[in-house]
Amino acid sequence: RKKWQATLDKHLRKKMNLKPIMRMNGNFARKLMSKETVEAVCELIHSEERQVALKELMDLYLKMKPVWRSSCPAKECPELLCQYSYHSQRFAELLSTKFKYRYEGKITNYFHKTLAHVPE
């Protein structure tokens, strides 16, 4: 795990100018969760199937994010709200099938609330 993390940190520093020390204040996560970064991470993944799954996972994440960040998604992003249930189910399906070695059927309470309980 440490070797993989070091490899990822070095690769992201080189490709995206992301500094792992930024993890402390949350900026690292915000920059990491973007389409550009997914392309850089996919360069490290040897399996074409896993690359496709990671890209789909990130695409779903980016489609769901405006809904849970919104104070009134029914008014601010109604089209994304309509698709939210489908996207969250597909997201969970990808985690439990393509990334099950990391997922193991468990997600954090915060993540569960984000996926399952959206204010309307």
- Domain check: are 12 and 63 in the same one? no
pLDDT tens-digit series, residues 4-62 = 778 888 888 888 887 766 555 566 667 777 888 888 888 888 889 989 998 999 999 89
Residue 103 has pLDDT above 60, yes or no: no
pLDDT tens-digit series, residues 64-96 = 989 988 889 999 999 999 998 899 889 888 887
- Domain check: are 59 and 33 in the same one? no
For residue 25, give its domain range: 1-44
User: Measured between alpha carbons, how far is 71 from 67 in angstroms, rounded to an integer?
Assistant: 8
pLDDT of res. 80? 93
Q: Is 102 exposed, middle or buried (0-12, 13-18, 19+ CB in 10 A)?
A: exposed
pLDDT of res. 120? 47
